[in-house]
Amino acid sequence: MNSHHTTVLSMLPPWLGIAVGHIVDNASISNLASIASIAYCLVGVYVMLRRNSHGDD
């Protein structure tokens, strides 16, 4: 799980990564933060795949 969060944080701007880190530290909304992180990661991968497909054309 730590490696997943590290990968996600490495894709984010530093200020956003710090904000997400503070949110994840808050146990009451850690589940929401995890869902948001996964969703953000999936969207990022989807956009990258779309861009790569258009670039290969």
Give the integer Cα–Cα distance in Å for 26 and 15: 17
The DSSP element (H or E) to which 38 belongs, if any, is helix 30-56
The angle, 0 to 180 degrees and rounded to 10, between the axes of the packed helices 14-25 and 30-56 is: 150
- Conformation bin of residue 31: beta by default, left when phi > 0, alpha when psi is -120 to 50: alpha
Mean pLDDT of the chain: 73
pLDDT tier at 12, thresholds 50, 70, 90? low
Question: At residue 18, what is the residue type?
Answer: I
Least confident of 9-13, 28-32, 46-50: 9-13
pTM of the prediction? Answer: 0.39
Rounded CA-CA distance 48/2 in Å is 23
